[in-house]
Structure 1
Amino acid sequence: MRIVVAHNRYREAQPSGENTIVDAEMAQLTAAGVEVLPFIRSSDEIPTMPTTAKALLPISPIYAPRAQQELSRLLTEHRPDVLHLHNPYPLLSPWVVRTAHRHGVPVVQTVHNYRQVCSSGLYFRDGMICQDCRGRALGVPAIVHRCYRGSRAQSALMATTLAVHRGTWKSVDRFIALTTAVADHLRDYGIPDERIVVKPNAVPDPGPPAPLGDGFLFMGRLTPEKGLDLLLEAWRRHPVGALGPLRVAGDGELRPMVEAAAAERPDVSYLGQLDRAGVRAAIEASAVVLATSTWHDVLPTVIIEALASGRPVLGTALGGIPYLVGAGTPREPAGTGPASVASAVRGDGAATLPVGVVAGEAGWVVSPDPAALAAALPVARTGAAALAPAARARYERTFHPDVVTKQLIDIYADAARTAPRH
C-alpha cells in the first residue's frame, strides 16, 4: 500500500502535539510495511520564502498554487492508493483534497481541531468556550473578534476560506475522528456517519513503567485554553507541600504566570521546554499527569504519553479528555454545583468522590471549576498507585501503535476500495 501523508507543520517555536503525532504515525506505518510518501511543508519556511511566494501567502489558505503543482507531480509519478491529510494551513490549503480527487486518489483526513467551523480551530475565545460561528455560512463573529492570529484581516481571510471550502471538506472520503466528541462535531457539520471512523492517536511504547514518582506534572503549551490559571488557583487552595510537587513543562505566553507561581511557592517548579528524554524523565518523576484544559481539547498527546508510562491522569471533563481516561462526565446534582463538598459514590462503590469528579478507568475527570479541581487533587494523589496498572493497560489496549496502526491501515484499505472516483 502506498500513502501520501500531507501536513503543514506548525512552527517549531510553538510546540505541537500534532507535529509529534504525524511524525510518529509515519514511522509506525513504515514499520508496518506501508510505503509512505511525505508531502510536508512547514510554517518555519515562511520567513525564508522568496518575495514572489510571500506575495501569494494571503490567498494560500484558499488556494496554494505551488502546493497543488507539486502535489500533482507527486500523484502522477507515484499513483498512491490514498492521500492522508492532517493540517493544510497555511501552505497546502484544503485545495489538496480537490487536487487528489482530480487524480482519482481518495482522501482521508484526521481531524485534529474544529477548523471546519472555527477560525481559530479551538471553539475558545476570551477565556471561554465559544461556538458563535456554528451553523453560519460565513463566520462573521470570528472577524469581529479577530479570532485568527489577533488580526481582523487574517480572520476575514480564514472565515472566507472556511466558507469557500465547505464543499471541499464535505467531499473528503473518510474522516478520522480522534474521539467520539470529534465524531459528534463532524455530524453537526453535516458529515454522514458512514464517512466517520473513530480512531485515536498512538505514541511509541516507552517500555515497562518505572515506579511511580511523587506529585503532579502539567506539560503542554502555556496558553490560556490549557487551563493554567484554573490549575494554579486550585493548587493555591492547599497548603504548601500538602500535595507534593507540581512540575510545569512547556512554553508559551503564560510562562511569566508559571515562573511567578514557582517563585511564590517552593512546591511549584517550572521545567521549561523539554526534549523527548526530558519529557520521559518528567513523567517518571511524577505520580499523576494533569490535563486541565478549559476548551474542548481534542486529544491531548500528553495523556496518551502518561498512560503509556503507567501514570493516571486528572483532567477536565471537556473534549476528548473523558474518552482518553475512560470516564464519563461529572455528576452535578441540582442545588450543589461543582463547588460543593458533598460526596458522590463512585460507580463501583469502592470509594467516594467529591461531587463534580468522576473516576474513570485510567484517571479522573472534573468540572472545569477551581473548587472542584482543588477537591480532586488530593483524591488523585491518594489514588494514583491503585490506578497506575489500569493506566498502562488502557494504553496497551487502545493507544498502542500495534493496535492503532492496524486500524489506520484498515481505514486506508476501505477508502481505497469503496470511495467514489471523483
Structure 2
Amino acid sequence: MRIVVAHNRYREAQPSGENTIVDVEMAQLTAAGVEVLPFIRSSDEIPTMPKSAKALLPISPIWAPRAQEELSRLISEHRPDVLHLHNPYPLISPWIVRTAHRHGVPVVQTVHNYRQVCSSGLYFRDGMICQDCRGRALGVPAIVHRCYRGSRAQSALMATTLAVHRGTWRSVDRFIALTSAVADHLRDYGIPAERIVVKPNGIPDPGAPAPLGDGFLYMARLSPEKGLALLLDAWRRHPDGALGPLRIAGDGELRPLAEAAAAERADVTYLGSLDRAGVRAAIEASTVIIAASTWHDVLPTVIIEALSSGRPVLGTALGGIPYLLGADAPREPAGTGPAAVATAAPGEGRVALPHGVQEGEAGWVVAPEPAAMAAALSVARAGAARLAPAARARYERTFHPDVVTRQLIDVYASVSATAPPR
C-alpha cells in the first residue's frame, strides 16, 4: 500500500503536538510495511521564500498553486492508493483534496482541531469557549474579533477560506476523528456518520511503568486555554503541602503565573520547558497528571503519555478528555464546593465522589471550576494507586501503536477499495 501523507508543519519555535504525532504516525506506518510518501511543507519556509512566492501567500490558504502542481507530479509518478491530509494551512490549502480527486486518489483527513468552522481552530476566545461562527455561511464574528493571528485582515482571509472550501471538506472520503467529541463536531458540520471513523493518536510504548512517584504534574503550553489559572486557583484552596508537590512544565505567555506560584508556595515547582528525557523523568516522578484545559481540547498528547506510563489523569470534562480517560462528562454541573456529594457511576472499587467529579476507567473528569477542581485534587491523590494499573491497560488497549496503526491501515484499505477506477 502506498500513501501520501500531507501536512503543513507548524513553526518549530512553537512546539506542536500535531507535528510530533504526524512524525510518529509516519514512522509507525513505515514499520508496518506501508510505503509512505511525505508531502510536507513547513511554515518555517515562509521567511526565506522569494518575493514572488510571498506575494501569493495571501491566497495560499484558498488555493496554493505551487503545492497543487507538486502534488500532481507526485501522484503521476508514484500512483498512491490514498492521500492522508493533516494540516493544510497555509502552504498546502484544502484545494489539495480537489487535486487528489482529480487524479482519482481518495482522501482521508485526520481532524486535529475545529477549523472547518472556527478560524482559530480552538472554539476559544477572550478566555472562554466561543462557538459564534457555528452554522454561519461566513464567520463574521471571527473577523470582528480578529480571531486568526490577531489580525482582522488575516481573519477575513481565513473566514473566506472556510466558506469557499465548505464543499471541499464535505467531499473528503473519510474523516478520522481523534475522539468522540470530534466526531460530534463533524456530524454537526454536516458530515454523514458513515464517513467518520473514531481513531485516536498513539505514541510509542515506553515499556513497563516505573513505580508511582509523588504529587501532581501539569505539563502543557502555558497559554490561557490550557487552564493553568484554574489549576492554581484550585491548588491554593489546600494548605501548603497538603497534596504533595505540584510540578509545572512548559512555557508560554503564562510563564510568569507559574513562576509566581513557585515563589509563593513551597509545594509548587516550575520546571520550565523539558526535552524528551525531562518529560519522561517528570512523569515518573509524579503520581497523577493534570489536564486542566478550559477549552474543548481535542486530544492532549500528555494524557496518552501519562497512561502509557501507568499514571492516572485528572482532567476537565471538555472536548476529548473524557473519551481519553474512558469517562462520560459529569451528568450535573459542579456544586459550590467539596461538601456537595453525589454517588459515582457504578463499578467495582468506585467510591462516593464530590459533586461535579466523575471517575473514569483511567482517571477523573471534573467540571472546569475551581471548587470542583479543588475537590478532585484530593480524590485523585487518594485514588491514584488504585487506578494506575487501569491507566496502563487503557493505553495498551486503545493507544498502543500496534492498535492504532492497524486501525489506520484498515481505513486506508476501506477507502481505496471503494474508490472509483482511475
TM-score (norm 2): 0.98
Amino acid of the structure 1 residue aligned with 2:135: G
> What secondary structure does 2:415 align onto?
helix
The separation in 2 between residues aligned to 1:133 and 1:9, in whole angstroms, is 26
Q: Report Cα offsets for 1:255-292 as digits up to 9, x if no partner.
A: 11111111111211111111111111111111000100
The separation in 1 between residues aligned to 2:230 and 2:181, in whole angstroms, is 23
**Shift of residue 421, structure 1, vs aligned partner:** 6.0
Q: Which residue of 1 aligns with 2:211?
A: 211
* TM alignment of 1:50-61, pairs within 5 A: 50-61=50-61
Q: Which residue of 1 aligns with 2:373?
A: 373
Decide which of 328, 332, 341 is 1:343's aligned counterpart: 341
Q: Which residue of 1 aligns with 2:360?
A: 360
Q: Which residue of 2 aligns with 1:126?
A: 126
**Shift of residue 133, structure 1, vs aligned partner:** 0.3
The separation in 1 between residues aligned to 2:58 and 2:195, in whole angstroms, is 32
> What secondary structure does 1:135 align onto?
coil
Say if 1:338 and 1:367, in contact at 8 Å, map to a contact too. no
> What secondary structure does 1:138 align onto?
coil
Q: Report Cα offsets for 1:141-169 as digits up to 9, x if no partner.
A: 00000000111000000000000000100
Structure 1 moving runs of 4+ over 3 Å = 419-422
The separation in 2 between residues aligned to 1:152 and 1:22, in whole angstroms, is 30
The separation in 2 between residues aligned to 1:133 and 1:227, in whole angstroms, is 23
Say if 2:335 and 2:372, in contact at 8 Å, map to a contact too. no
Q: Report Cα offsets for 1:302-349 as digits up to 9, x if no partner.
A: 10010000000000000000000011111327xx73545221222227
Amino acid of the structure 1 residue aligned with 2:231: L
The separation in 1 between residues aligned to 2:350 and 2:95, in whole angstroms, is 53
Q: Report Cα offsets for 1:90-118 as digits up to 9, x if no partner.
A: 11110111111111110000000000000
The separation in 2 between residues aligned to 1:289 and 1:256, in whole angstroms, is 21
Q: Report Cα offsets for 1:13-45 as digits up to 9, x if no partner.
A: 111111111111000000000000111111111
Q: Which residue of 2 aligns with 1:278?
A: 278
The separation in 1 between residues aligned to 2:384 and 2:391, in whole angstroms, is 10
The separation in 1 between residues aligned to 2:337 and 2:146, in whole angstroms, is 33
Out of 78-87 and 234-243, give the one that drifted further.
234-243
Aligned residues: 420
Say if 1:339 and 1:369, in contact at 8 Å, map to a contact too. no
Say if 1:216 and 1:246, in contact at 8 Å, map to a contact too. yes
The separation in 2 between residues aligned to 1:105 and 1:283, in whole angstroms, is 42
Q: Which residue of 2 aligns with 1:297?
A: 297
* TM alignment of 1:214-363, pairs within 5 A: 214-332=214-332, 337=335, 339=337, 341-346=339-344, 347-348=346-347, 350-363=350-363
Say if 1:62 and 1:95, in contact at 8 Å, map to a contact too. yes
Say if 1:331 and 1:357, in contact at 8 Å, map to a contact too. no
Out of 391-400 and 241-250, give the one that drifted further.
241-250
Amino acid of the structure 2 residue aligned with 1:65: P
1:63 aligns with 2:63: yes
Q: Which residue of 2 aligns with 1:21?
A: 21
Out of 14-23 and 136-145, give the one that drifted further.
14-23
RMSD (Å) for aligned C-alpha atoms: 1.2
> What secondary structure does 2:54 align onto?
helix
**Shift of residue 249, structure 1, vs aligned partner:** 1.2
The separation in 2 between residues aligned to 1:130 and 1:366, in whole angstroms, is 20
Say if 1:298 and 1:321, in contact at 8 Å, map to a contact too. yes
> What secondary structure does 2:260 align onto?
helix
Q: For structure 2, list consecutive stretches of 5 or more residues without a partner in the other structure.
A: none
> What secondary structure does 1:404 align onto?
helix
Identity between Structure 1 and Structure 2 (%): 85
Q: Which residue of 2 aligns with 1:411?
A: 411
TM-score (norm 1): 0.98
* Residues 225 and 125 of structure 1: CA distance in aligned 2, closer, same or farther (over 3 Å): same
Say if 2:222 and 2:250, in contact at 8 Å, map to a contact too. yes
Q: Which residue of 2 aligns with 1:49?
A: 49
Q: Which residue of 1 aligns with 2:40?
A: 40
> What secondary structure does 2:221 align onto?
coil
**Shift of residue 295, structure 1, vs aligned partner:** 0.5
